[in-house]
């Protein structure tokens, strides 16, 4: 293999390898995932709501004053997004303004 052919082969291999990493990441973008419904059986069991302000603080397990999905340790995705993935509900996005009984403070 000539030096030029070898260099071209290495360049194409690098592009192909990069493509393997880009495609899965694109599939998991929050904008492409369905929103979690509060009526979902698992969501209902966790008392999930899309509006944390509707939750009586006296009924929460954790005493932290400000609790919503945006400041939960289990939320994923980007700060500022209205809907974000959550480790408890894989394959769905939750409302950043929402809440569920699993809420935990960020470290
Ligand atoms: Fe929201 Fe946290 Fe419950 Fe997920 S675990 S739904 S981010 S409060």
**Nearest residue (CA) to ligand 1, atom 3:** 100
Instruction: List, for residues 50-73, the tens digit of each pLDDT value.
Output: 999 999 999 999 999 999 999 999
| pTM for this prediction | 0.74
Q: Which atom of ligand 1 is nearest to the CA of 72?
A: 2
Nearest-angstrom CA–CA distance, 38 and 42: 9
Q: Are 51 and 97 in contact (CB under 8 A)?
A: yes
Q: How far is the CA of 86 from the centre of ligand 1 (A)?
A: 6
pLDDT at position 2: 56
pLDDT at position 8: 44
What domains can be seen in the chain, in order of their start residue? 28-95 (4.10.490.10)
Mean pLDDT along residues 17-35: 57
Strand partners, 95: 83
- Band (6; pLDDT cuts 50, 70, 90): low
């Amino acid at each position: 293999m000539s030096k030029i052919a070898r260099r071209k082969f290495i360049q194409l291999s690098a592009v192909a390898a990069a493509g393997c990493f880009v495609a899965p990441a694109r599939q998991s973008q929050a904008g492409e995932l369905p929103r979690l419904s509060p009526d979902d059986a698992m969501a209902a069991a966790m008392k999930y709501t899309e509006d944390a302000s509707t939750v009586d603080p006296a009924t929460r397990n954790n005493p932290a004053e400000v609790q919503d999905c945006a400041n939960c340790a289990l939320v994923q995705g980007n700060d500022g997004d209205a809907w974000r993935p959550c480790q408890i509900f894989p394959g769905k996005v939750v409302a950043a303004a929402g809440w569920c009984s699993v809420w935990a403070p960020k470290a």
